[in-house]
A = this chain, B = another copy of it.
Amino acid sequence: MTEATRRERLRAETEREIRQAARALLVESGRDAVTLRAIARKLGITAPALYRYYDSHDALLRQLCDDICADMAAALYADLAADTSGQVGCKVRAVCHAFRRWALAHPQEFALVFASPRDPLGADQFGSVFLQLAGPLIASNEDANHVHEEVPAVLHEDLVRFQQVLRDAVAEHGVTLADEVLNLGKIYHVVQSWVRLYGHVALEVFGRFPFAVSNPEPMFDSMLDQMLSDIGFDEG
């Protein structure tokens, strides 16, 4: 049984409906359609009532971003779990494909979360998703630590910091990483992989490839091949 009082249950229910309505409006008609009055209309209430739940329209949009990130994370985890091959390379590939698939299926959400020149947005949420996914995957790839190139010294400071962030993320899963498996060269390639992954997906979602690509999926696959090879995963 729920410990919450009747009022608390009703409030939670209304808040859920608000988020749901906001999400539906975003998906159906884009960011500009996520209007306090439109949301209220969907719930059969008036706009000012929403101020009992959110301080402003902006705050509601921020919440929407967090919800989107959480949903995306769930989708990525699901696709990751669906990959039953023991191979780590396959898992990485599965997650990357899931990210592309999610972005193409949710262009409005993608644009809101990943392409707004705003301060925090869903930054925290997303960062954790990336770390939760990338960290353990890299960690589990112990046998492919032959990547040991030198990276420019100027990058060391940032890469060491990211190394620590990754180590902490993995530690929450109860795994400890050796410097050998998580060397700076690999860290660098992880960042570069995120650049390419994001670049391809954003270009595809926003239609900004320099020419019409009839079927971008093979190009994405080809890019993944090189990414995985760069990062030190065996082909497969």
A residues adjacent to B (C-beta < 8 A): 30, 107-108, 110-111, 114-117, 119, 123, 126-127, 130-131, 134, 151-152, 154-155, 157-158, 161-162, 165, 188, 191-192, 194-200, 202-203, 205-215, 218-219, 221-223, 226
Contacts and interface: CB of A to CB of B under 8 A. Distances in A.
A118 to B, nearest CB: 8
Contact of A196 (B30, B117, B196): B196
B116 A206 contact: yes
Given A111-B117, A158-B215, A218-B155, A198 B192 contact: no
Q: A interface, by DSSP: helix, strand, loop or mixed?
A: helix
16 contacts: A114-B208, A115-B115, A115-B116, A115-B202, A119-B207, A127-B210, A127-B211, A152-B218, A154-B218, A157-B214, A158-B215, A161-B211, A161-B212, A195-B199, A196-B196, A199-B200
A21 to B, nearest CB: 21
Residue from A162, A208, A226 with most neighbouring chain B CB atoms (10 Å): A208
Contacts of A209: 191, 194
Contacts of A202: 115, 198-199, 202
A108 B115 CA distance: 11
A27 to B, nearest CB: 12
B213 A158 contact: yes
B195 A196 contact: yes
A111 B107 contact: no
Given A195-B200, A202-B115, A126 B219 contact: no
Contacts of A212: 161
A127 B203 CA distance: 13
Contacts of A116: 111, 115, 206
